[in-house]
Amino acid sequence: WIPFARSKGKQEMSRRIPRLLWCAAVICSVTAATHHAAADNDSPAAVIGDVVADLRFKDIRGLVRSASELGSHQATVLVFVTSDCPLVKRVMPKLCELDAAYRERGVQMVAVNVGASDTLKDMAAQAIEFEASFPFVKDEGLAAATRLGISRTPEAAVLDSQWQLVYRGRIDDQDRLGGARPEPTRRDLAMALNELLDGMPVSVATTPVDGCLI
């Protein structure tokens, strides 16, 4: 899939496509390998401070790859989504803004699809709809969600450069299933990233998440 196809010129697309396809391939494979790790080791859900180094992904070609193939990043943000959750639709523009704001600071954003009926085509359509330039992947069997203790969408898990889980929770406190504030009073994910990138402990490492149950 090419999430920016509608808005980018052919020259820009030709420059970015190889990188994005590679990223998508690497990231997608987190799911399958996590499933094997959970099955083989019966790993409990990670808690804050745990190193989640066993994450692997199944890429768009069906190949299993290690998360280390993503390269060195200050933070990896896995945001769990579906194509039909109304809160996911509300926060997707925010994820695109966060990706643009933090990409050059060494943050890798990933959308992890956990929709039971969502297909690869559905994922691609969502990426194109929101003109997202970060990878979308499928968590078949909910292995990654289970390992990271994710229960709702949209919920985020942040891993530091050593694959230590440092944050798990909401994007911000603006959107709820029953309505929304005019503006968020806490931008939790951005605050966690700022503290992590500044070399500080994440002060609020977990938050409640009001969203669609996985």
Report the 3 state secondary structure along 108-146: EEEEEECCCCCCHHHHHHHHHHCCCCCCEEECHHHHHHH
* pLDDT class of 38 with cuts at 50, 70, 90: very low
pLDDT in tens, 171-182: 999 988 877 888
| SS3 state at 176 | strand
pLDDT in tens, 118-174: 988 888 899 999 999 998 888 888 889 999 999 999 999 999 999 999 999 999 999
- State the sign of the Cα–Cα–Cα–Cα dihedral 84, 82, 7, 25: negative
The confidence score (pLDDT) of residue 105 equals 97
* pLDDT class of 57 with cuts at 50, 70, 90: low
The confidence score (pLDDT) of residue 36 equals 43
Report phi then psi at 168, rounded to 5: -145, 120
Q: What does the alpha-carbon distance between residue 22 and residue 128 come to, in Å, rounded to a whole number?
A: 18
* pLDDT class of 74 with cuts at 50, 70, 90: very high
Average pLDDT over residues 44-61: 79
Q: Is a pLDDT exceeding 80 seen at residue 61?
A: no
Q: Is a pLDDT exceeding 60 seen at residue 32?
A: no
* pLDDT class of 62 with cuts at 50, 70, 90: low
Report phi then psi at 142, rounded to 5: 60, 30
Pairing of strands 165-169, 75-81: unpaired
Q: How much is the mean pLDDT over the chain?
A: 81
* pLDDT class of 59 with cuts at 50, 70, 90: low
